[in-house]
Amino acid sequence: MSTWEKLPPFEGVTHQECLHAPPVTKTAPMDLCIGVGFGIAQITKDSEVIYSEPSDDEGYTSPLLQVFEDMAKLDPDHDWRCLLYAPLRGEEYQRQGGRWVLVDSNMGFA
C-alpha cells in the first residue's frame, strides 16, 4: 500500500516559450536529460533531494531519467519527482507506476 499521494495529471496548457527546448509532454521519456543549464533540475524521493544539477556544469553531462527510473524500480513505494525549473519554463513530473506523469507546468522564472 502506498504511503504517498498520487497527484492528478496536469490538465492545463503547458508553457513552451523556448523554441530550442524539447516539447513538454504529459509523460516524461526515459531519455529526458535531467538538466536545464541555468535554473534547477532535481530528482526527489519523498521531498529529499536525490540528485541536483551542479551549478558549475562546464563539461558535465546530465544523467537521463532512466538512471532514476532504475533506482525507483528498486524502491517504488515513495513519492519520486523530477523538477525542471528554467527561464520561461518549468515542469514537474511524478513517478506513477513506472511512468513519470506531468503534474505541473509553469512559466519558470525570468
Q: Which residues contact 47 (CB under 8 A, 6 or more apart)?
A: 79
pLDDT at 20: 52
pLDDT at 110: 75
How far is the C-alpha of 76 from the C-alpha of 79, rounded, in Å? 8
Tell me whether residue 13 is exposed, middle or buried, using C-beta atoms within 10 angstroms of its C-beta: 0 to 12, 13 to 18, 19 or more.
exposed
pLDDT at 101: 97
DSSP-derived letter for residue 72 is: H
Do 65 and 56 touch, CB atoms closer than 8 A? no
Tell me the pLDDT of the chain (110 aa) as tens digits.
568 999 998 887 665 555 555 566 789 999 999 999 889 999 999 999 999 998 775 777 899 999 999 999 999 999 999 999 998 889 999 999 999 999 999 888 87
